[in-house]
Structure formats: structure tokens, C-alpha cells
Structure 1
Amino acid sequence: METSLKNKKILITAGPTREYIDPVRFISNESSGKMGYEIAEALHKMGADVILVSGPVSIKSTLPNHKTIKVVTGNEMLLECQKHFNSIDIAIFCAAVADYKPKITSGIKIKKIENNVTLELQKNVDIALEFGKLKTANQISVGFALETNNVLENSIGKLKKKNFDLVVMNSPNLNKGFGYDTNKIAIVHTDLSLHHFPLKSKKEVAIDIISLIKINVKTKQRIGKVKINTTI
């Protein structure tokens, strides 16, 4: 019988973050948020208890308003996610949180005076890493790896470092990934097995990802039911 995700509490992050230099300038990336939203909407239709924490995007969502939490910065996203870390069954970290943020944010617009300026950056929060430190044996964590080179090697590194159960791998190549309605992915598991998928719409990719999450849930449920016989 197929594993159901109905009533499972699932946290999904989506979109980019904006890390402000001053009130009108910020560091960000080209994430559209489409992949995270497709996953969230598909899970909602399956009856899951979805919590979508989204950075700034231009997406018309079919999710009920109370299912979506809007944030701007990486730190805001972390604070909202942390509220649910102890109660969720599954976390899907699809958001492209900026890796770095300005060390100092100016309260007023920086004027164009000098020919050259230096912007000092500091490492931003890593939400998936923070969840990985607290994650229990019954929780599932899914990460995304957008890589331009050494895709598998870097993805396996993330899998181990952040305590993921699955890592969805893709790359920002032409007509797939960031900003497009299609994506071509592969998924690596904790046992380092790989699933490759052809180029598909992000709606279809969402279903592929969810299907592998269901398998992972079923495996954990089966392991949890195993009883050790200590009778001599």
C-alpha cells in the first residue's frame, strides 16, 4: 500500500533572500521560488499540513494564505523555521538563502562618491545545517544542491554535513533550473544511491521528489517497527 503524507507536518522553504546593503540595495540571487511552491502546492493537495516559508517572489499561489509565511532575509527565514523544528515530520529546504550578507547595513542610502568601494561580507545563516543538528531519527530532511561543477561530490558533502536524508541535485544550465518552468534533477540518498530524472516541468519534478520522500518515510516506518528479541 502506498505511503500517505496526509496530515504529515511538512516545512518547505522557497525563493531567494535579500541581504540589504542599504535601504535600496541588496545581495540576492536568481531563484524564482517556483520549485518550492510546486512542492508545497502538491503536498497540500495530498492532504499534508504544509508550512511554506517564502522569500520575496512573484508567484500566484493556490495555497491558503495562512499556509504561507513571507520573509525577506535569511535570518528572518531561520527564525520562522525554528518555530517548527520540533514539531515537523519533514523539512524540505528548497530556498536559495544568500550565502553571505553585508557585515554592516547602512541605515541611509550610500552615496556615489568614490570610484571604488569595498563591501565586507560575513557568512549568512545555514537553516538546513541548524535543523540537521536537532533532527530526530523520525524526522526527514531534504536539501537542494545547485552546483556548477563537481555536482555529485559537493552534494554528498552537503548530505553528510547537514544530516540530510535526500539531496536534490541540479545545475543552472540553459532552459532549466533558476527562473524557468522546467528542471532536470538527480537525487542522492544517504546510502549514496542515485536516481536520475529527465528534463520535466517543475510541477512534474515536484511529484518525483515527493515520490522519493514517500519511499524514505516508508523505510523509516519499517525500521521503527523492528523489535529486537532479547529473549535468551
Structure 2
Amino acid sequence: GGGSKENIDSVRVLGNLSSGKQAYFLAIALHLLGAKVFLISSSVPTILPQGIHFIEVTTSIQYYQAIIESKKMCKAKPILFMAAAIADFIPEAVSQTKIKKDSLRNLQLTFEKNMDILSKLSAKEFVKIGFKAEDNHQSAFQNAQGMLHKKECTIVCLNVLDSLKNAFGSDNNQMTLISSNATQETPLLDKFSLSFEIAAFTQQVLLNDDNAH
């Protein structure tokens, strides 16, 4: 959960508007349903049930490393709910000291494409649940469907952002839950209630996959 923060210099970061609320409520819902939960997030929760393992991270590489380390503590194949907003691009060069405003008239930064954590992780090692935020209603569903194959996701949770209903940081959300064989539209719900919808859809898809095999 949360959003990655990538350093520009020793005090400044490149970040995004992800609040981490959906992952926080999802972690609590899954814990209440009996799962062993690791919450990896840059957004520090104020209150968590004692049984949830919280790992605070900042950069995208820290997210990746924490996911790998958490897997080592799981006896079964873990389900990864990738609700974090990881930077698509990161600074090509990072200043080790603070960039002084007085010494520059303009500051130009060059960015390089960041690693894609979901693509990097193997579907043989994780059940991958992707989360996709879009702001274009026309292409959103097609883009989300593409994640099922391109990133080997079992499920994609599509969130089409709306400034009035479910902008970044809002307490409510509406999603389209997509698998290769099923699609479910949720109503606009508070993020805690929505977490149980995501959990139930995930359970049903995994049960159907097991029965098919």
C-alpha cells in the first residue's frame, strides 16, 4: 500500500497522491478473515491489529525487497495484493547533497523507466492481485484486462478515478474486479467494506481455479 517515494537529492523526493487507505483496510479485513497478513506500505498506519506484520518502506526497491523477504516467512504460496502506487519513472541521477536553489536558475531532471514489481515477480511464486488506477473511462477496462496476461495477474482491481466520488485519498471507492473468467462491479463503498468485496471475489476465483484443475 501507499506510494513509493524516490529521492531527487538528500532531502527531496518524487512521490504521488496515494494515501495507502485501501491497503490498510484490506489488511485488516484479511486479518479478520483469518489470513496471515504482511502490510508493506510507505503510509504508516496509526492502529493495526497485533497479528498484522507491518513493514515500513519508502522506495520501490524497498517495496520489492520487503515482498521477497515476507515470502520467506510464508509456508504456502502467498497472495500479493499489489495496491501500492509504485513510481513508473525514477530520477536517473540522485544528488547526494541538497540541491541549492540559489545556485540554479532552472532545475532539469532526467528520468528513467522504473522496474515493474508485478512483472518482475513470478506467478509461480505468488498469486498476484493487481490494482490499476485509471482516469480515462474509455480505455480503463481494456488496460486492466491487459494486466491479466502481461503481468500474469490472477485478478485486477480497476479503479477509475473520479474527482467527486473516489479521488486519491478519499474514504470511499468503487472498483471493477476482473479475472480471466469473471467480472464484478462493486457499488461505491467505504474502503473497509470494499475490502471484503475484494476478498470474497478473490476467494471465489481461486476456488474456481482449483476446481478447474
- TM-score, normalization by structure 2: 0.90
Larger Rg: 1
RMSD (Å) for aligned C-alpha atoms: 1.8
Aligned residues: 206
Q: How much has 1:172 moved relative to structure 2?
A: 2.5
Q: By how many angstroms is 1:127 displaced?
A: 1.4
**1:1-33: CA deviations, max 9, x gaps?**
xxxxxxxxxxxxx10111010121111100000
Name the counterpart of 2:61.
75
- Is the CA contact 1:78–1:125 (under 8 Å) kept in the aligned structure 2? no
- Give the partner amino acid of 1:118: Q
Q: Secondary structure, in 3 states, of the residue corresponding to 1:95? A: coil
Contact (CA 8 Å) 2:133, 2:158: kept in 1 or not?
yes
**Residue number in structure 2 paired with 1:10:** none
Q: Which runs of 5+ in 1 are unaligned?
A: 1-13, 225-232
Q: Distance in 2 between matches of 1:152 and 1:97?
A: 20
User: Aligned equivalents of 1:118 and 1:52: distance in 2?
Assistant: 35
Q: 1:65 to 1:109 in 2, by over 3 A?
A: farther
The aligned counterpart of 2:107 is 117
Could you tell me which residue of structure 1 aligns to residue 210 of structure 2? 221
SS of the counterpart of 2:25? helix
For the 8 Å contact 1:170–1:177, the answer to whether it is kept is no
1:78 corresponds to which letter in structure 2?
Answer: Y
Match of 1:63 in 2: 49
Displacement of 1:168 in angstroms is: 0.5
Structure 1 runs, 4 residues or longer, greater than 2 Å off: 63-66, 83-89
Query: C-alpha displacement at 1:90, in angstroms?
Result: 1.0
- In structure 1, which of residues 135, 147, 155 is the aligned counterpart of residue 134 of structure 2? 147
Q: Within 2, Cα distance between the matches of 1:23 and 1:114?
A: 17
Secondary structure in 2 matching 1:22: coil
Structure 1 residue 188, shift from structure 2 partner: 1.3
Calculate the TM-score normalised by the size of structure 1: 0.83
Residues 155-174 of structure 1: matches in 2 within 5 Å? 155-174=144-163
Does structure 1 retain, via aligned residues, the 8 Å contact 2:31–2:52? Answer: no
Question: Which segments of 5 or more consecutive residues in structure 2 lack a partner in the other structure?
Answer: none
| Match status 1:203 vs 2:188 | no
